[in-house]
Amino acid sequence: MKDLNHQLKKLCDNNRDGSYATQAQRQRLLSLIADQLRDLGFHQLNSHSLKPKHVEALTRHWLAETLAVATIKNRMSAVRCWAAKVNRQNVVARSNDAYSIPDRQFVTNESKARTVTAEALAKVADAHVRMSLELQQAFGLRREEAIKFIPSYADRGDTLVLKDTWTQGGKAREIPIRTEAQREVLARARKLAGGGSLIPPGRKYVQQLRIYEGHTARAGLSKLHRLRHAYAQQRYLEVTGWAPPAAGGPASNSLTNVQKARDKEARLVISRELGHERETVTSIYLGR
């Protein structure tokens, strides 16, 4: 276990505030935060070396990922707990406004899905960045997952297996390989990466992240987290047979009992494939 992860685990073990579920979530989030700080280039940190620059780097990273506001606020709560336990409360601003974290957004039935065309991909000069974008689109991966992706490990024939070290929250997951288009993307990813990842040899994750950001910006591509919205909406259509509310389908309260059962099944499937634990989160992607 890395030094910072180990120290934050001990900090959690010695401070049993809240319910068992709250304690477990706090420890999970702090472990994730320690990993992300390392990926962002901050090495040899200990539990008492938290500084404003670390908090600012984390919040910039989370906002760039276009995570749900509630997710970012939960992570900020974990950071504030860490700061308080080591008597460094002043390191973290009292208000989330200081980090441009928006107010919580409520679910609407307005689609945020987007796709990246072949023409748009052609404008991305870096082959590894292009492939990460194709994987995001084909499998609904998060940006970090698509950058750290190791095709030779993940491709299990009819299933894609994501390592816990690639994923948000550190939880491994599986995604079905359903189409020939997905197989074709994976074949090209294998050819490009060989036995390695989509981070070229000689680069670290944080370096490839910056390269990804630069190339996508120059290609005029933004809000790429919305590729996950498109994936979720396509999967909903496949499982239920009708479009989700956000894509013009019927609202949940207008469905028959049989349709409601299929709606719930689809949402649970999509929640698992996107790496969420709760069916309710799918409303962000699908509407309600």
- Answer yes or no: are the C-beta atoms of 237 and 147 closer than 8 Å: no
For the chain, what percent of residues have pLDDT higher than 70? 98
What average pLDDT does range 107-122 have in this prediction? 90
∠ CA 167-14-29 to the nearest 5 degrees? 15
Mean of per-residue pLDDT scores for the chain: 92
d(CA 260, CA 174): 25
Residue 105 pLDDT: 59
Banded pLDDT at 1 (limits 50, 70, 90): very low
pLDDT of residue 279: 87
- Residue 13 CB-density burial (10 A; 0-12 exposed, 13-18 middle, 19+ buried): exposed
Residue 217 CB-density burial (10 A; 0-12 exposed, 13-18 middle, 19+ buried): exposed
Spatial separation of the C-alpha atoms in residues 74 and 154, rounded to whole Å:
29
The pair of three-digit structure tokens given for residue 197, joined into one six-digit string: 């990842």
User: Among 234, 284, 242, 232, which residue's Cα sits nearest to residue 263?
Assistant: 242
Task: Indicate whether 276 pLDDT > 50.
Answer: yes
Confidence of residue 282 (pLDDT cuts 50, 70, 90): very high
pLDDT at 171 over 90: no
- 35-61 pLDDT, tens digit each: 999 999 998 899 999 999 999 999 999
Q: What is the pLDDT of residues 173-209, one digit of tens each?
A: 999 999 999 999 999 999 999 999 999 999 999 899 9
For residue 238, the 8-state DSSP code is: H
Residue 104 has pLDDT above 80, yes or no: no
Q: How much is the average pLDDT of 82-111?
A: 84
If pLDDT is split at 50, 70 and 90, which confidence band does 110 have? confident
**Statement: the pTM of the whole predicted model exceeds 0.85:** no
The CA distances from residue 253 to 120, 135, 260, 263, in Å, are 38, 34, 8, 11
Instruction: Name residues whose C-beta falls within 8 Å of residue 202's C-beta, 6 or more positions apart in sequence.
Output: none
Rounded average pLDDT over 118-133:
97
283 pLDDT higher than 80: yes
CB 175 within 8 A of CB 162: yes
CA distance 235 to 280: 16
* SS3 call for 179: coil
Write down the pLDDT at residue 69. Answer: 85
Confidence of residue 265 (pLDDT cuts 50, 70, 90): very high
The mean pLDDT value for 225-238 works out to 96
Give the three-class secondary structure for 174. strand
